[in-house]
Amino acid sequence: MTITRSPHRLRRVTAGLAAAAIGALTLAACGDSDPLDNSGGDSDTIVIGSQEYYSNEIIAEAYSQALEAAGFEVEEEFKIGQREAYLPDIESGAIDLFPEYTGPLLIALDQDATAKLSDDVYAALGEALPDGLRALEQSEATDQDSYVVTRDYADQWGLATIEDLTKVTDPIVFGANSEAESRPNGPKGLKSTYGVEVSFTPIDDGGGPLTVKALKDGDIQMAIIYTGDPSIQKNDLVPLEDTKGLFLASHVVPIASDDVDDEAAAIIDEISAAMSPEDLVALNARSVDEQLSAEVIAKEWLEDEGLL
Amino acid sequence: MTWLEANRSYVLDMLLQHVQIAVPAVLISIVAAVALGRLAWRWRRVGAVVLGATSLLYSVPALPLLIVIPVVLSIPLRSDLNLIIALALYGTALLAGTALDAFRSVDPRVREAAEALGHSRAGIWWKVDLPLSFPVLLSGIRVITVSTVSLVTIGALVGIQSLGNLLTDGFQRGIHAEIVTGIVLTILVAVVLDVLLVLVGALVTPWRRRTPRARSRRRADDTAAVSA
Amino acid sequence: MSLFGDALAWILDGGHWGGPTGIDTRLWQHLAVTFAAVALAAAVAIPLGVLIGHTGRGRLVVVATAGAVRAVPTLGLLTLLGLWLGIGLTAPLLALVVLAFPSLLAGAYAGVESADRGAVDAARSLGMSEWQLVLRVELPLGAAVVIGGLRAATLQVVATATLAAYLSDTGLGRYLFAGLKSRDYPQMLAGALLVAALALLLDVALAFVQRACRGPAPLAPSDAAPEAAPAKG
């Protein structure tokens, strides 16, 4: 019955599956054509990267637009994850220019780094960077980890510095990314540097909205949030002053490969010099409040500063 | 809405990127799972072991897998290929069992009849086994397609771009329109691909349309497939 | 692969066992979260699936919904739930329940549907009530398929329960996140291996139950519906 008829009908299935197989291989091959795979690449083009972090992307945009305006050929590789994802590409030179932060990058490159102060960290970073990479001038703008508490909590216990936490008699729950637990600025560092005892709970959103909510809910009493984060102002959070240098200084610093020549480096240095800490917070706020794209925010800032 | 309008080209880029990762991953899964399912069907003992091991791949959490694959294959961590391979492994893990079920669902009498008509073994595979097992296979393909599309989003955590970036960026900046866009578009891609699969299924197995008997049989194929 | 060797060494290091952050504690936490999520999801999904399978009503709607649920990105869902419910275990648990739901539901209705219609009709003609039909005929006959759904859901939840560590100090996911963020890959991989080992144990145990359920006379030709396959998170 059907059997005699089926071969020619069934052939369609066969054809379909064969097409699928060929398609799979072709598409997989396409997926491989990531321009970054051939590390180094065309040396005329400056490949600029940015973290998956809106603030970092704005700075990278500023680099990109300024270089392009000066006649350089640039290629943007933005929003490429967190440090663990992109660091290999910087180390290999697949990315030529990347806005980084002195302290966190130093720790990522050298777990045992002891430098704390701005200039020491910058110097140590210069040495920790692999051959072929250099740190351009660091900016005055900082975006660094800070311990924050809510205004109510600060008022209740009279807190202004981290040291003041010793006055708190209730248990303190501290929330931050998981890696903070083992970092020098985590619970152990707090104990040894300031004599403050806290318990730790991980909130892996990098001081984002979940962390802020946990603070406001009272689930945690203290968190690590970046000083550049507009949510500190918006939620009336209080960053505690780090009088004994528990946190490494964390200035915005462009990391450049050899493909970035002196002329290009000079342009980037100008941007770093023009960017104040207040500027950075303001740029971040525009991203969050006005929901503008990094491209627009960077362009308008460059124009305001007369850099474009 | 305004966020979406202002970022239309970016969203479109991410959408395309998402599809570009999901589709090859699904296609590779299909090819690999059919091969494994066939192997398991032919050699029962070996097959059971291979399928068991394959299905356990599914329990490996995604983030470590995305770190290990580049080390083992020496490809860049932050490449589409890395994510495609990871997703293909998950897809194969899910689909291989269904593929075996699919081959088992073919009535052996049909196969014998084809043999009696003088078809070669390869001929029977291409012209009888594969087409007749296709309905069960398709139901499994639909499942892995949807789950693969959803899983592409985790690439954002290791810098592989997709609609997942709208989620991470939206959360960081507290832009709800961006988060909703990411989730809705992910579901939309899944639904569109699913509908396409149903259409393809109807196209390549025309004998399953029209008659009421075909309809009830279709339903049976959808629910019941054997798994070892 | 030295990376795997390092990960194994990490697991075997006695210093990583015992205490509130030890491997044994994390394993139990992981198991508890998995069990709670699957149990909660099953409490809703299985009765609903049985109802659909028995009456044959609402099947299309539910299958379509379950399919759409599969497409929801888990990390996105988790973050949304976290913003709503705050940190702690509630949000991850709820996200895991949502993940487990489609597989359990599909297993339940496919199981009941797969019960031999002849046997069901015969039981009905013997004067069994609808309740008796479900409990004494359809569920026992379809048990292997229902367990198949449970097995799939468990595999998926045990792998995804790592996300609990995103918002709370719970489970094997702690090793994953801590290892990933500090580029301590042996620790990360050790976490992954432990998750896989736990999954293997649970899967073998459930396969055993499933085989026992299939009983002497396998009326149903199947023990898992393809829709019962897990959705990865």
Show the domains of chain B with their CATH numbers: 3-210 (1.10.3720.10)
DSSP string, C166-233: HHSS-STHHHHHHHHHTT-HHHHHHHHHHHHHHHHHHHHHHHHHHHHHH-SS--SS-SB-GGGS----
pLDDT at B227: 31
Q: What is the pLDDT of residue B19?
A: 97
Q: Is the pLDDT of residue A18 over 60?
A: no
Q: Is the pLDDT of residue A1 over 50?
A: no
Q: Higher pLDDT residue, A21 or B175?
A: B175
Number of inter-chain CB pairs under 8 A, A vs C: 63
Residues of B in contact with A80 (CB under 8 A): 78, 159, 161
pLDDT for res A43: 60
For C115, which DSSP code? S
pLDDT of residue C91: 93
| ipTM given for this complex | 0.78
Provide the residue count of chain C. 233
Query: What's this model's pTM, rounded to 2 decimal places?
Result: 0.83
Highest mean pLDDT among A15-24, B147-156, C54-63, C209-218: B147-156
DSSP assignment of chain A, as one string? -HHHHHHHHHHHHHHHHHHHHHHHHHHHHHHT--TTSSSS--TTEEEEE--SSHHHHHHHHHHHHHHHHTT-EEEEE----SHHHHHHHHHTTSS-EEEEEHHHHHHHH-TT----SHHHHHHHHHHHSPTTEEE-PPPS-B--EEEEEEHHHHHHHT-SBGGGGGG--S--EEEE-GGGGTSTTSHHHIIIII----EEEE--STTSHHHHHHHHHTS-SEEEEETT-THHHHTTEEEPB-TT--SPP-BEEEEEETTS-HHHHHHHHHHHHH--HHHHHHHHHIIIII---HHHHHHHHHHHTT--
What is the rounded end-to-end Cα distance, in angstroms, of chain B? 49
Residues in A closer than 8 angstroms to C183, CB to CB, are: 84, 87, 108
Two tokens at B189? 């891609």
What is the per-residue pLDDT for B141?
Answer: 95
Residue carrying the six token digits 């959408």: B15
Task: Inspect the interface and report whether the beta carbons of B200 and A24 lie closer than 8 Å.
Answer: no
Beta-carbon contacts of A12 under 8 Å, excluding residues fewer than 6 positions away, are: B203, B204, B206
Mutation target vs B (from C75, C203, C204; most B CBs, 10 A cutoff): C75
Average pLDDT, chain A: 86
Q: Give the closest-approach CA distance of B15 to chain A in angstroms.
A: 14
A70 touches chain B (CB under 8 A): no
pLDDT at A198: 95
Distance of alpha carbon A6 from the chain centroid: 60
B221 min Cα distance to partner chain A (Å) = 17
Distance from CA of B180 to the nearest CA of C (A): 9
**Highest mean pLDDT pick, A17-26, A60-69, C59-68:** A60-69
Phi-psi map region of C183: left, alpha, beta (phi>0 left; psi -120 to 50 alpha): left
Alpha-carbon distance values, B176 to A218, B169, B173, C32 (Å): 24, 10, 9, 33
Please write the tens of the pLDDT for every residue from A204-239. 888 888 999 999 999 999 999 999 899 999 999 999
Q: Give the best residue of B49, B55, B59 to mutate against chain C (max C CB count within 10 A).
A: B59
Each residue's pLDDT tens digit, A156-201: 999 999 999 999 999 999 999 988 888 888 899 899 999 999 999 9
- pLDDT score of A7: 42
pLDDT of residue B210: 56
Highest mean pLDDT: which of A1-5, A278-282, B39-43?
A: A278-282
Query: What tokens were used for B180?
Result: 């909703």
For position B204, what pLDDT does the model report? 82
Mention every residue, 6+ apart, whose C-beta is less than 8 A from residue A221.
A149, A153, A168, A170, A172, A173, A174, A215
CB-CB contact of B32 with B98 (8 Å): no
Band of residue A51 on the pLDDT scale cut at 50, 70, 90? very high
Chain A residues inside the 8 Å CB shell of C182: 111, 179, 182-183
DSSP string, A30-53: HHT--TTSSSS--TTEEEEE--SS
Neighbouring subunits of C (3+ Cβ pairs under 8 A): A, B
Q: Best interface-test mutation with A: which of B7, B23, B127 has the largest number of A CBs within 10 A?
A: B127
The DSSP code for C138 is I
Looking at the predicted structure, is the pLDDT value of residue A9 above 50? no
pLDDT at A122 over 90: yes
Range with the lowest mean pLDDT among A9-18, B208-217, C59-68?
Answer: A9-18
* Binary contact (A220, C87; C-beta < 8 A): yes
- Does A99 have pLDDT greater than 70? yes
Position C223 scores a pLDDT of: 43
Share in percent of chain B as helix, strand, coil (round to 5): 85, 0, 15
Q: How confident is the model at residue B220 (pLDDT cuts 50, 70, 90)?
A: low
pLDDT band for B27, please (50, 70, 90 cuts). very high
- What is residue A225's predicted lDDT score, i.e. its pLDDT? 94
**Which residue from B minimizes the CA distance to A13?**
B204
* pLDDT at residue A30 tops 50: no
Which residues in chain A (180-239) have CB-CB distances under 8 A to chain B?
205-206, 208-209, 231
Using 50, 70 and 90 to split pLDDT, how confident is the model at A8? Answer: very low
- Do B61 and C200 make contact, defined as CB atoms within 8 angstroms? no
Distance CA A262, CA C10 (A): 46
Note the pLDDT of residue A37. 41
Lowest-pLDDT range, A132-146, A285-299, C177-191?
C177-191
Q: Which residues 153-172 in chain B show a CB within 8 A of chain A?
A: 156-161, 165, 168-169, 171-172
**Domains of chain C and any CATH numbers:** 33-215 (1.10.3720.10)
Q: Where residue B209 falls among pLDDT bands split at 50, 70, 90?
A: low
Q: What is residue C44's predicted lDDT score, i.e. its pLDDT?
A: 95
- Best of A112, A178, A215 to mutate (most C CBs within 10 Å, chain C): A178
State the smallest CA–CA distance between residue C23 and chain A in angstroms. Answer: 16
The predicted structure's pLDDT at residue B211: 57
Beta-carbon separation of B130 and A53 below 8 A = no
User: Tens place of pLDDT for every residue, chain C, 233 residues?
Assistant: 588 899 999 999 999 998 888 999 999 999 999 999 999 999 999 999 999 988 888 888 877 777 788 888 887 888 889 888 989 999 999 999 999 998 899 889 888 888 888 888 899 899 898 888 888 888 888 888 899 899 989 988 998 999 899 889 999 999 998 888 877 889 999 999 999 999 999 989 998 898 888 765 443 334 445 555 555 54
Local structure of B225: helix, strand or coil: strand
Query: Is A16 or B82 the better-scoring residue by pLDDT?
Result: B82
For each of the domains in chain A, give its residue range(s) and CATH number, in order of start: 3-142+252-304 (3.40.190.10), 147-239 (3.40.190.120)
Per-residue confidence (pLDDT) for residue A72, from 0 to 100: 95
Distance from CA of B187 to the nearest CA of C (A): 5
Q: Given an 8 Å threshold on Cβ–Cβ distance, is A79 in contact with B203?
A: no
Q: Kindly indicate the confidence band of residue B91, based on its pLDDT and cuts at 50, 70 and 90.
A: very high
| Other Cβ atoms within 10 Å of A238 Cβ, number | 18
Binned at pLDDT 50, 70 and 90, residue A15 comes out as: low
Which three-class secondary structure state does DSSP give residue B227? coil
- Across the range B102-107, mean pLDDT stands at 87
Question: What's the CA gap between C33 and C26, in Å, rounded?
Answer: 10
Which among A52, A125, A58 is positioned nearest to A83, based on CA atoms? A52
pLDDT of residue A12: 52
Instruction: For chain B, give the longest Cα–Cα distance.
Output: 68
Q: Residue A36: what pLDDT? A: 43
Tell me the residue type at C153.
A
The minimal CB distance from B139 to the residues C173, C180, C227 is found for C227
Within 10 angstroms of residue B70's Cβ, the number of other Cβ atoms is 19
Query: Would you say how long chain A is, in residues?
Result: 308
**Which pLDDT score is estimated for B168?**
87
Q: Which of A12-21, A125-134, B203-212, B213-222 has the highest mean pLDDT?
A: A125-134
